[in-house]
Amino acid sequence: MKQTTLFFATSIASLFAALSIATAADVKLTEQSELGKSVKDIPVAAHWIYDDLAKAKAEAKESGKPLLVVLRCVPCPPGKTLDE
Amino acid sequence: MQPDKELEAIEKQFVCVRIIQTKGLDLGLFQYDYDMSWAAMFLAPDLTIYGRYGTRNASGPGSDSLLSAAAFKKAAERALKLHKGFPGNKGQLAAKKGKTPDYPVPEKTPGLEERGQGETTRQKCIHCHMVKEFALRAKWEAGKLSPADLWVYPMPERIGLALDVDDGLLVTAVEKDAPAAKAGLAAGDELVSAGGQPLISTADFQWVLHTSSADAKLPVTIRRGGKTLEKTIVLAGNWKERSNIAWRASSWYGLRQGLKVEPLSATDKKSRGIDEDNLALAVKGLFGKGAPKLQAAGLCNGDIIVAVDGKSEDLTESAFLVNLRLNHGPKDSVKFTVLRGEKKEELAIPMW
């Protein structure tokens, strides 16, 4: 009985996960580096610069905008709360 | 970074960059708790630091319990306010930058040089925790490891303050008789600045505690019921020490070298005939480069360490690891007394 419940719960969760991926697919994403792909990093929205601090510094200097630098150790499991 | 319209609107006021490895990172500028797997820094276009975000005090399932999207948003909003006041507030922000580090970039740290060569691949990534881990190891090998290297980024609890996880700066409780209570801080207060530095998050307050000397009078500005008040927290003694640091990934190579131990419960101690106050650390794993030396010296998984150098004072895993590294150098040998089944064994283990 418990296993059946778990199976249905998992199926429903998978369905919702699939739906949210479809929604996320509408969002423009930034291209990841080869390293990002190899560590299976999450998709990152297009307003983020990917793993290129020099580019971000230059852009901040030019635009006068402040910098937000996220330092993420992707292979380490902690931190998923904020990635998700 | 998944779709969230409110957060996206805040993010778009910044130049946002996601860094996934630390090779080449300017360690003079980017000083944060390297045991975070997700940390953020907010900076002015000229690289003046507005603040930090990201707090952690556990491994395993509790690793992310102090991370919050709400607090991250608040930190970003507070950073934007500082940006509006910039450069007029530049002087107040100066102490947010740390001292010159031992190594300018991670790959200059002994043991990480090879990872700095060539293209960065998954295998050659320099993880954030490695920055601290290899620096600790180098200090220990040079006989220069000190308590200040180990107890970093103190939690506000060390001075008797509990801060709201979803706000970062809202005081939820003050421990009776602790330095924060003596300074007159109370639940409901909001921390505005400390040590003259405007704060954006709990991590920012930890930075102030981290860079403060152990004996200090720390000025704090708080908001209470619409009023701004000035208080002084008097810090003295070893308040930075004795907290648990066994959760830190930097302890793996720096302190434990592959040795994982876990204290026995009171019930297990009783069933094994070990006194309640006696040391009893069960060996739960021998990993990595340190394992062969431990195994060669006779240490096995499942052994229960009941004395170190003849001392049987009860210790947490953290205190055990810290004592080993602070009391012994690389050329020393340490004596473990272990229980293996019913048998007691004495093992001479060269520091590894």
Measure CB to CB from residue B37 to each of A59, A60, A73 and give the nearest one. Answer: A73
Coil vs helix vs strand at B78: helix
Where would I find the H helices in chain B?
A: 5-11, 69-84, 90-93, 128-141, 147-150, 179-182, 202-211, 251, 266-271, 291-296, 317-327
Inter-chain CB proximity B79 and A23 less than 8 Å: no
DSSP letter for B252, please.
I
Reported as a single tens digit per residue, the pLDDT across B222-280 is 999 999 999 999 999 999 998 999 999 998 888 888 899 999 999 999 999 999 999 99
Question: Nearest Cα to B315, choosing from B282, B351, B272?
Answer: B282
Place of tokens 């996601």: B18
The residue to which tokens 């130049």 are assigned: B15
Q: Using the predicted structure, report yes or no on whether residue B346 has a pLDDT greater than 50.
A: yes
Please, which residues have CB within 8 angstroms of residue B332's CB and are 6 or more apart in sequence? Answer: B350, B351
Contact state of B45 with A41 under an 8 Å Cβ cutoff: no
Alpha carbon of B10: minimum distance to chain A alpha carbons (Å): 11
Which one is predicted more confidently, B165 or A4? B165
Which range is least confidently modeled, A10-14, A78-82, B39-43, B69-73?
A10-14
Please determine, for residue A27, whether its predicted confidence score (pLDDT) is greater than 90.
no
> Looking at chain B, which residue has its C-alpha nearest residue A48?
B16
- Residue pair B127/B109 in contact (Cβ under 8 Å)? The answer is no
CA distance A15 to chain B (A): 18
H helices, E strands: number in chain A: 4, 2
Residues in chain A within 8 Å Cβ distance of B59? 78
Least confident interval from A5-14, B139-148, B262-271: A5-14
For the cut 70, the answer to whether the pLDDT of residue A12 exceeds it is no
Q: Report residue B323 as tokens.
A: 């004592």
Residue B318 one-letter amino acid = S
Task: Please indicate whether, in this complex, the C-beta atoms of B38 and A71 are within 8 angstroms of each other.
Answer: yes
- Residue B40 pLDDT greater than 80, yes or no: yes
pLDDT of A29 strictly over 50: yes
Q: Residue A28 — pLDDT band, cuts 50, 70, 90?
A: confident
Amino acid at B74: K
Residue B183 in this model has a pLDDT that exceeds 50 = yes
**Minimum Cα–Cα distance from A28: chain B residue:** B3
Q: Which of A21, A35, A70 to mutate to test the interface with B (most CBs of B within 10 A)?
A: A70
Q: What is the structure's pLDDT at A22?
A: 38
Which residue of A73, A74, A84 is the best one to mutate when testing the B interface, meaning the one whose CB has the most B CBs within 10 A? A73
SS3 B118: coil
Given A48, A77, A83, which is nearest B16 (Cβ)? A48
Mean pLDDT calculated for residue range B155-177:
98
Q: Extract long-range pairs of B267-276: CB within 8 Å, 24+ residues apart.
A: B272/B304, B272/B339, B274/B304, B274/B306, B274/B339
Q: What pLDDT is stored for residue B228 in this prediction? A: 98
Tokens describing residue A59: 């852009």
H or E element that contains B232: strand B227-235
As a whole number of angstroms, the distance between CA B144 and CA B138 comes to 9
For residue A65, how many other CB atoms are within 10 A of its CB? 18
Q: What is the pLDDT of residues B313-328, one digit of tens each?
A: 999 999 999 999 999 9
Residues B19 and A72: beta-carbon distance below 8 Å = yes
Q: Are the Cβ atoms of A64 and B45 closer than 8 angstroms?
A: yes
The size of the A-B interface in CB pairs under 8 A is 179
Chain B residues with CB under 8 Å of A38 CB are 121-122
For B146, residues 6+ apart whose C-beta sits below 8 A from its C-beta are B139, B326
Specify which residues B198 forms β-bridges with: B193
> What is the per-residue pLDDT for A11?
40
CB atoms within 10 A of CB B128: 30
Find which of A67, A74, A80, A83 to mutate to test the B interface (most B CBs within 10 Å of its CB). Answer: A67
Partners of A51 on chain B (C-beta within 8 Å) are 17-21
Q: How confident is the model at residue A23 (pLDDT cuts 50, 70, 90)?
A: very low
Nearest by CB: B38 against A33, A53, A79: A79
Distance CA B308, CA B317 (A): 13
What is the identity of the amino acid at A32?
Q
CB–CB of B164/B170 below 8 Å?
Answer: yes
A interface test, pick of B8, B20, B25, B96 with most A CB neighbours within 10 Å = B20
Report the share of chain B in percent with pLDDT over 90: 86
CA-CA distances (angstroms) from residue B10 to A82, B89, B131, B284?
15, 21, 30, 45
Closest residue on chain A to B249 (Cα) = A76
Confidence band (pLDDT; 50, 70, 90) for A43?
confident
Question: For residues B17 and A48, is the Cβ–Cβ distance under 8 A?
Answer: yes
Determine the Cα–Cα distance for residues B41 and B204; give it in Å rounded to an integer: 10
Looking at residue B313, the DSSP 8-state letter turns out to be: B
Rounded alpha-carbon distances, angstroms, from residue B135 to A4, B56, B59, B161, B253:
51, 20, 21, 30, 10
Residue B160 dihedral angles phi and psi, to the nearest 5° = 90, 20
Predicted ipTM of the assembly: 0.93
Instruction: Report the chain B residue with the minimal C-alpha distance to residue A65.
Output: B14
pLDDT tens digits, B70-110: 999 999 999 999 999 999 999 999 999 999 999 999 999 99
